[in-house]
C-alpha cells in the first residue's frame, strides 16, 4: 500500500495534473522516466546515422536539403530529450556513457541498413509514421518536461513522415525499376517498423506501471494496431504490397488482422546482434571521442569568461 506522499502523487497523476521536476515523485517513477526518456533521446541521435548514409547520394539537391533538414531535426529532438532527462537529476555524460557502454537501449529500428534511396522514403513513411503514433500520446503524459518536448517533436515529425511518403509516391509512380525499389524497401522496413512499438503487451515488463503512472497512455499492441490500420490504405494507394500474407481486414474488429511478428529477431536486435548494432555504437563512440577537444574548449572558454566577470 502507498504512503501519504505516494497517494497524493497518484491522485495528481490520475487527475491529469503534470508532475514537474521539483515535485515529489516516487524514486521508481524518476528511474523509469530516466530510462525511457534517455533511450528515446539515444534513438534520435543514433537514428541520424542510417539517414546520414544517403546525404551525399540524394538524387536531387531538393531531396538532399530536405534530408539534411530532417537529420538536423532529429539532432534537436535528441537535445530536447536529453534536457528533459536532465531535469530528473542525471547528467548528459552519464546518459551517453550508458549508451556507449552498451548498457542503454535505443530503438531497434536503427540497427537496419539503408541499402537504396527508397529506404529513405520508407524510413520517413514507416519509421517516422510509427514514431508519430507513439509520440502523440506522450504529449499528454504525466511528466511535464517530457510532454512539452513531445509537442514540438510531433510537429517536426509530421514533416518527416510526409516527405518520406512523397519519396515513395515518386518511386511507386516512376519506372518499373523505381517501383521495384520502393517495394523492396517496404519489404525490408515493414516488420522492423512494427517492432518499434515494443514487445506484445503480455511480454511488456514496464507497461503496467507506466500505464498506472500515465507515462504510457496506450498499450504497445494498441499503437501497433493503429500503425497497421493507418498504413495499409497508404500502401494500397502506392500500389505496393505489404509483406504479410496474413494481413486481412476484419470487419467485426474494425481493424486489420496481421501475421505474427518475428520476436526472435526483435530480441536478437535488442541483444546487440542486429545487422548494424556494432557499427552504430562504434560510430557514436568515435563521434563522442572526436568531439572531446571541442567540449574541453567550450568549458575552458566558459571558465575564462566567468573569471573575467568575477575579476
- Give least dist CB 262 to ligand 3HC, A: 13
Q: How distant is the alpha carbon of residue 4 from its chain centre? A: 36
What distances in angstroms separate CA 241 from CA 73, 118, 121, 193, 232, one per listed residue? 30, 15, 15, 15, 9
- Give least dist CB 263 to ligand 3HC, A: 11
Strand partners, 257: 248
Q: C-alpha angle 78/49/95, rounded to 5°?
A: 40
Q: Which is nearer to ligand 3HC, 116 or 210 (CB)?
A: 210
Helix (H) or strand (E) holding 176: helix 176-195
Q: Which is nearer to ligand 3HC, 121 or 198 (CB)?
A: 198
- Give least dist CB 271 to ligand 3HC, A: 10
Q: Which is nearer to ligand 3HC, 105 or 170 (CB)?
A: 105
Burial 215-254 (b: 16+ CB within 10 A, else e): bbbbbbbebbbbbbeebbebbeebebebebeebeeeeeee
- Give least dist CB 36 to ligand 3HC, A: 5
Q: Which is nearer to ligand 3HC, 179 or 188 (CB)?
A: 188
Query: Residue 147: what are its φ and ψ, rounded to 5°?
Result: -60, -45
Burial 63-96 (b: 16+ CB within 10 A, else e): beebbeebbebbeebbebbbebbbbbebeeeebb
Q: Which is nearer to ligand 3HC, 104 or 179 (CB)?
A: 104
- Give least dist CB 191 to ligand 3HC, A: 12
- Give least dist CB 20 to ligand 3HC, A: 20
d(CA 104, CA 36): 10
Q: Which is nearer to ligand 3HC, 31 or 304 (CB)?
A: 31
d(CA 119, CA 52): 12
Q: Which is nearer to ligand 3HC, 113 or 239 (CB)?
A: 113
- Give least dist CB 308 to ligand 3HC, A: 40
- Give least dist CB 251 to ligand 3HC, A: 29
The residue among 96, 49, 118 whose CA lies nearest residue 275 is 49
d(CA 227, CA 134): 9
The residue ranges of DSSP E strands in 31-147, in sequence order, are none
Q: Which residues bind ligand 3HC (CB under 6 A)?
A: 35-36, 39-40, 43-44, 47, 74, 77, 105, 107-108, 127-128, 131, 134, 157, 195-199, 204-207, 210, 216, 220, 270
Q: Is 159 helix (H, G, I), strand (E, B) or coil?
A: helix
Q: Which is nearer to ligand 3HC, 205 or 310 (CB)?
A: 205
Q: Are 29 and 5 in contact (CB under 8 A)?
A: no
Amino acid at each position: 500500500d502507498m504512503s501519504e506522499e505516494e497517494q497524493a502523487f497518484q491522485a495528481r497523476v490520475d487527475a491529469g495534473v503534470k508532475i514537474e521536476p521539483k515535485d515529489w515523485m516516487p524514486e521508481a517513477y524518476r528511474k523509469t522516466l530516466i530510462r525511457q526518456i534517455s533511450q528515446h533521446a539515444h534513438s534520435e541521435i543514433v537514428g541520424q546515422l542510417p539517414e546520414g548514409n544517403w546525404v551525399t547520394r540524394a538524387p536531387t539537391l531538393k531531396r538532399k536539403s530536405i534530408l539534411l533538414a530532417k537529420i538536423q531535426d532529429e539532432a534537436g529532438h535528441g537535445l530536447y530529450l536529453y534536457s528533459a532527462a536532465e531535469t530528473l537529476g542525471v547528467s548528459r555524460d552519464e546518459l551517453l556513457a550508458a549508451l556507449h557502454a552498451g548498457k542503454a537501449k535505443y530503438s531497434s529500428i536503427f540497427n537496419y541498413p539503408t541499402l537504396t534511396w527508397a529506404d529513405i522514403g520508407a524510413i520517413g513513411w514507416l519509421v517516422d509514421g510509427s514514431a508519430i503514433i507513439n509520440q502523440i500520446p506522450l504529449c499528454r503524459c504525466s511528466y511535464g518536461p517530457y510532454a512539452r518536448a513531445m509537442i514540438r517533436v510531433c510537429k517536426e515529425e509530421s514533416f518527416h513522415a510526409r516527405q518520406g511518403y512523397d519519396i515513395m509516391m515518386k518511386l511507386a509512380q516512376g519506372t518499373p525499376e523505381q517501383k521495384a525499389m520502393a517495394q523492396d524497401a517496404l519489404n525490408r522496413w515493414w516488420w522492423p517498423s512494427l517492432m518499434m512499438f515494443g514487445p506484445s503487451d503480455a511480454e511488456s515488463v514496464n507497461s503496467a506501471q507506466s500505464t498506472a503512472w500515465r507515462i504510457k497512455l496506450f498499450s504497445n499492441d494498441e499503437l501497433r494496431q493503429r500503425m497497421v490500420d493507418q498504413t495499409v490504405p497508404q500502401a494500397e494507394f502506392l500500389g505496393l504490397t505489404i509483406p504479410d500474407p496474413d494481413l486481412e481486414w476484419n470487419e467485426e474488429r474494425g481493424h486489420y488482422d496481421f501475421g505474427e511478428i518475428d520476436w526472435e529477431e526483435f530480441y536478437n536486435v535488442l541483444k546487440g546482434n542486429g545487422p548494424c548494432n556494432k557499427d552504430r555504437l562504434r560510430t557514436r563512440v568515435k563521434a563522442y571521442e572526436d568531439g572531446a577537444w571541442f567540449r574541453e574548449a567550450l568549458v575552458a572558454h566558459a571558465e575564462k569568461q566567468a573569471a573575467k566577470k568575477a575579476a
